[in-house]
Structure 1
Amino acid sequence: MSSRLRTLGRKTVGPDRPVYITGEIGINHNGDLAKAFALIDAAADAGCDAVKFQKRTPEICTPRDQWDIERDTPWGRMTYIDYRHRVEFGESEYRAIDDHCRDRGIDWFASPWDTEAVSFLEKFDLPAHKVASASLTDDELLRTLRATGRTVILSTGMSTPQQIRHAVEVLGSENIVMCHATSTYPAAAEELNLRVIKALQQDYPNIPIGYSGHETGLQTTLAAVALGAVFVERHITLDRAMWGSDQAASVEPQGLTRLVRDIRTIETALGDGIKKVYESELGPMKKLRRVPAAV
């Protein structure tokens, strides 16, 4: 296999391969398994290759001084640590998710935010692990992910070129997919800086480069594909007005269907880059070209 290709489950990601499209569910299910199933169904119906969740161990990922701070939630007023548990799925829920994804013919994986979450996810046969942008500087987590031997998808939001280079050194370059990202929810168009995709392709010629988008709308994600992104991830939701910090930067089911459709059209239209005269052009050539070619 080419050094620029990576295996994600039954599929291969990289140049000259179909764009791998992931619907990022994250915690947009709000701890409700029925909503998670509905989001999986929406992604499968749209033609996504995978859905992605986020997995945290609340006592590790929540700063201790935040545990007892109370906040208003859809389930009433509760402490922050109780809220973190409320939106976190355990093994029984993920077993059900695993079964449902298998029934729908779609892969799933997750972003572990701590090493215990990696151990939890390793109970499942996943195509990859994802490093959230916020975790790019967590060397212990990166080393743990590298040790699994699975493909690792690395998002690069809120990170400097030096930090990205260090993360690649820790992870190793032979088994990762890198995603350009801007970690604002939602991200403004003037801060997407999509040309970074080309810069990353030049800086890391042996690593497939993708795009993790947090903007509103679809056109800039489509532009990322036109610029060569081979992996695309967008947050998805049943309703952007739902409660939760990621909902506003998410794509609803109808938009997701359009996004997948248009990505497939773009990758077909990009072609192979070799200029040729198509058979379909011969009729117009005969009709419209007044001066025959000299060569």
Structure 2
Amino acid sequence: MTMTLTHARPVAIGRHLVGTGRPVHVIAEIGLNHNGDVELAKRLIDVAAAAGCQAVKFQKRTPELATPEHMKDVPRETPWGTMSYLDYRRRVEFGRDEYLEVARHADLAGLDWFASPWDEPSVAFLEEVGAVAHKVASASVTDLPLLRALAETGKPVILSTGMSTLAEIDDAVAALGGVDTGRLVILHATSSYPMPPEEANLRTIRTLADRYPGVPIGYSGHEKGLQISLAAVALGAVAVERHITLDRTMWGSDHSASLEPQGLEHLVRDIRIIEEAMGDGVKRVFPGELAPKAKLRRVLQP
């Protein structure tokens, strides 16, 4: 399996356990890349299932609460014409019927699903429609009332840490109940879209593992390509989250930093190869070396 940091107690998320000694948990973030279209969301769920992911993730907002006041009336050019930023947020938001439809589709595809609630009413909404876990978006790390509401659900929580200091993460972990709940997963992240390699700072995976002992540490990536996410796995990340899209040229803020279907398929394939290749660290002579050893080694030890 992957390089061990500190032993992380597995956290049960839906049908899977996330932690040390378990297969890397691959989360395909659909987010708002469905552009408010249930059929597009279903196609993205199918892409995630075909690639071998374990979960898909959405975002849930109450637009009137989650939209910053100074942004509400800002004009936004959209495929549906020019509208205020608040109206755009309303346009792409799924309601109860849409969530139940995509939840059923994910379940039939063998995937768990959850979402990032951006406000407290969205927590209650996601509880009502049956999310198996909750995700804290990096933008919400300092929203302590939201985090306390998530802790009160008793569900597993995945905490992204982009644009956050260690002190802010400390406060967030405390609001979520601390490191001993057995329900917390933390993801190292850098919230640049797309993220340049020099901002990846992957050694932070070790920093987080040392600071929050027993908590599974993963990686949420916003880079182009696969290399950085794969390096995160080699450094011990037990979960990897990446945005997905059908086409990076589609309209929308997250498509350009997302993986297309073939890229997602290659990511999962290569993660599984790395897991197998990491081994256990015990130096030994492998069966495949015996014939070359007999043929090539001139001096044999008794």
TM-score range, shorter chain: over 0.9
Q: Determine if contact 2:158/2:184 at 8 Å carries over to the other structure.
A: yes
Superposition TM-score, scaled by structure 2 size: 0.94
1:278 to 276, 279, 286: 286
- Listed one character per residue, the Cα deviations across residues 208-259 of structure 1 (whole Å, up to 9, x for unaligned) are 1000000111111100001000000000011111111111110000110011
- Unmatched tracts of structure 2, length 5 or more: 1-6
Q: Determine if contact 2:8/2:20 at 8 Å carries over to the other structure.
A: no
The one-letter amino acid of 1:106's match is L
The one-letter amino acid of 2:239's match is F
The one-letter amino acid of 2:164's match is S
2:261 to 250, 253, 256: 253
Match of 2:107 in 1: 102
Task: Map residues 209-288 of structure 1 onto 2, 5 A cutoff.
Answer: 209-288=217-296
Task: Map residues 158-237 of structure 1 onto 2, 5 A cutoff.
Answer: 158-171=163-176, 172-173=178-179, 174=181, 175-237=183-245
Quote the Cα distance in structure 2 between the aligned partners of 1:65 and 1:246. 21
- Listed one character per residue, the Cα deviations across residues 121-173 of structure 1 (whole Å, up to 9, x for unaligned) are 00133331000000000110110111111110000000001111111111122
Q: The residue matched to 2:73 in structure 1 has which SS?
A: coil
Q: The residue matched to 2:129 in structure 1 has which SS?
A: coil
Quote the Cα distance in structure 2 between the aligned partners of 1:289 and 1:65. 73
The one-letter amino acid of 1:195's match is R
Deviation at 1:32, TM superposition (A): 0.7
Q: Determine if contact 1:157/1:181 at 8 Å carries over to the other structure.
A: yes
Quote the Cα distance in structure 2 between the aligned partners of 1:109 and 1:176. 14
The one-letter amino acid of 2:187's match is C
Quote the Cα distance in structure 2 between the aligned partners of 1:51 and 1:222. 19
Task: Map residues 73-112 of structure 1 onto 2, 5 A cutoff.
Answer: 73-112=78-117
Match of 2:157 in 1: 152
Q: Determine if contact 1:4/1:205 at 8 Å carries over to the other structure.
A: no
The one-letter amino acid of 1:275's match is K
Deviation at 1:100, TM superposition (A): 0.5
The one-letter amino acid of 2:215's match is I
Quote the Cα distance in structure 1 between the aligned partners of 2:27 and 2:230. 14
Q: Determine if contact 1:235/1:246 at 8 Å carries over to the other structure.
A: yes
Quote the Cα distance in structure 1 between the aligned partners of 2:284 and 2:121. 54
Quote the Cα distance in structure 1 between the aligned partners of 2:170 and 2:71. 32
Q: Determine if contact 2:28/2:244 at 8 Å carries over to the other structure.
A: yes
Deviation at 1:3, TM superposition (A): 5.7
Match of 1:131 in 2: 136
Q: The residue matched to 1:206 in structure 2 has which SS?
A: coil
Quote the Cα distance in structure 2 between the aligned partners of 1:187 and 1:291. 51
Quote the Cα distance in structure 2 between the aligned partners of 1:158 and 1:57. 23
Quote the Cα distance in structure 2 between the aligned partners of 1:102 and 1:113. 24
Quote the Cα distance in structure 1 between the aligned partners of 2:22 and 2:106. 23
Quote the Cα distance in structure 2 between the aligned partners of 1:268 and 1:3. 19
Distance 1:208 1:287, change over 3 A: same
Q: The residue matched to 1:123 in structure 2 has which SS?
A: helix
Percent identity (aligned) = 61
2:73 to 56, 68, 75: 68
Quote the Cα distance in structure 1 between the aligned partners of 2:134 and 2:100. 17
Superposition TM-score, scaled by structure 1 size: 0.96
- Unmatched tracts of structure 1, length 5 or more: none
Q: Determine if contact 1:152/1:176 at 8 Å carries over to the other structure.
A: yes
Deviation at 1:269, TM superposition (A): 0.6
Q: The residue matched to 2:135 in structure 1 has which SS?
A: strand
Q: Determine if contact 2:205/2:237 at 8 Å carries over to the other structure.
A: yes
- Listed one character per residue, the Cα deviations across residues 170-207 of structure 1 (whole Å, up to 9, x for unaligned) are 11222210000000110110001111111111222211
Q: Determine if contact 1:6/1:176 at 8 Å carries over to the other structure.
A: yes
Between the two proteins, the alignment pairs up a number of residues equal to 293
